[in-house]
Each structure stands twice: as C-alpha cells, then as structure tokens.
Homo-oligomer: A and B are copies of this chain.
Amino acid sequence: MNLILLDPNEINADGTVHLDDRRSRHIIEILGSQPGDRLQAGIVNGPVGSAEIISIKKQKKTATVVLRFSAEGLMPQTPFCDLIVALPRPIMLKRILAQAAELGVRKIFLINANRVEKSFFEANILKDEKYRQFLLHGLEQAKDTLLPEVSIHKRFRPFVEDFIPTIATTYSKMLVAHPETGAGLKQAAGNQISGRTLLAVGPEGGWVDFEIDRFIEQGFVPISMGSRVLKVETAVVALLSQLILLKGD
C-alpha cells in the first residue's frame, strides 16, 4: 500500500477521515505510524495529496486511525487504454483486475467467448462490487486514484457487433491479441501511439476463428508476441506495458 486511498464519502464535514479497516491496520502494523506523521494519500477518482495522522486508537480487535487529508496533486489524467478480457477464472481475474488498475487502465470490459467456462459468470467476485477491492489494491500499489470502470457482457455477438460500434470512434487504435498469427505490436501500430487504445485479450486457448473474424470486421488489428503463447494474465500485463512504451508518457 504505497498510497492510502480514501473514498470521497468518507470525508467528514471537518475534513477528517476515520479509518477502521485494513488501511488503519496497515498504518499501525506495517508503517508503524504515529500521530503527526504525514502519509501519501489520495481520493478515489480525485487528487493525490497527504494525510496527517490526527490520532490512533488501538484496541483488541479494532484499530482506528483519524486522518486529515490535504490535496496536493492534480486530478488524475484519464488513462489512454481500455481493456476487453474474455472472462477468466476468478483467481486469475483478481490478479488481472489489480494489475490492470496498477497499469492505469480506465475501462475493463469482461466478456463472454467460446472458450470461457459459463460457470465463471456465476463467480462471487462478479457480484456486489466484490471486484472493487482488487482494483483498489492496484491503485494503492501504483499510487493512482482513477478507479477503472468494470462492465460485464454475457453475450459475445451483441457486445462486438452492437456495442463496439457505439464506442469505436473514441479510439485511435483497436487491437486484438491473437497468438502466433498476429503481427508484433510495432508492426501493427508503429513506433508511436497517439490517442486512446482498446485492447482485447482472449481466454486460455484463445479466441475461436469466428470471434477473431468479428473483431477484425469491427476494425481491430490482430497482434501477438511472436511465436510465444502467453497466459492470459501475462498477456494483459505484457501488451499493456508495450502500449505504455509506445505511448511514451
């Protein structure tokens, strides 16, 4: 936790924040902070800044920390990359959500595909915003505050054929990961990327031909990491990192 992330609703009228959860435990047990200390902090979807510790109260089972936040940075910049992922198994989804947030993805579209196990859509992590905590872990790690928006799309064709056309004009590049057959990112996108990018990563075992054809119909360009077939979670981090490099900021 490199940044203490606060929700706007947590800030009281007098500017203080009362924490009584894993953040207060982290402040007390890991950081060993004392009243008067200042910690790096940020508001979800708001500015970064610092939080002064006003008081610490440690009891048997609870650990309450009162902070006062001061904004010091600018509002976060909107990240340039959105991500489509064929819904992976829950344990992998947790890591992908955290790592996508860590790398500054803005929107995450979790979609169906032929090789997605239908039971994954019943997973607990997709309910009641349980996934939010994994996004927060990623932001806390990367010292970012912009919470990615997650949406779930249970039907492949309506997503690609009806929904994609409604957002396609907002992207300057749309890429679909397709191991072995796609070109390298440099061949597909050149040495520099400007504007927003939409990246689609398939399930373990890959997209089926029908799916790749639908993406290409919508203007997606197939890309790969050469002959290597990567695990979904490796591919997400690898391709996002390559896009960040070509974006060059």
Binding site for B on A (CB under 8 A): 2, 99, 102-104, 141-144, 184-186, 191, 225-231, 234, 237-242, 244-246, 248-249
The copy count of this chain in the complex is: 2
Whole-angstrom distance between the alpha carbons of A242 and B246 in the complex? 9
Return the chain B residue nearest A99 by Cβ.
B234
Whole-angstrom distance between the alpha carbons of A142 and B186 in the complex? 20
A230 to chain B minimum Cβ distance, whole angstroms, is 6
Asked if A234 and B191 sit within 8 Å, CB to CB, the answer is no
Contacts of A241 in B (CB 8 A): 225, 237-239, 241-242
Contacts of A184 in B (CB 8 A): 245, 248
Contacts of A227 in B (CB 8 A): 143
Contacts of A2 in B (CB 8 A): 229
24 A-B pairs, CB-CB below 8 angstroms? A102-B228, A102-B230, A102-B234, A103-B228, A103-B230, A103-B234, A103-B238, A104-B228, A141-B229, A141-B231, A141-B234, A142-B228, A142-B230, A186-B245, A186-B248, A191-B191, A225-B244, A237-B237, A238-B238, A238-B241, A241-B242, A242-B242, A242-B245, A245-B246
7 closest Cβ pairs, A-B complex: A238-B241, A142-B228, A237-B237, A242-B245, A241-B241, A2-B229, A99-B234
Whole-angstrom distance between the alpha carbons of A186 and B239 in the complex? 16
Whole-angstrom distance between the alpha carbons of A184 and B241 in the complex? 11
Return the chain B residue nearest A142 by Cβ.
B228
A248 to chain B minimum Cβ distance, whole angstroms, is 6
* Known A186-B245, A237-B234, A242-B242: A144·B228 in contact at CB below 8 Å: yes
Contacts of A239 in B (CB 8 A): 241
Inter-chain pairs besides A102-B228, A143-B229, A185-B245, 14 sampled, C-beta below 8 Å: A99-B231, A99-B234, A102-B231, A102-B234, A103-B228, A103-B238, A141-B230, A191-B191, A225-B244, A238-B240, A241-B242, A242-B244, A242-B245, A245-B245
A89 to chain B minimum Cβ distance, whole angstroms, is 15
Asked if B248 and A142 sit within 8 Å, CB to CB, the answer is no
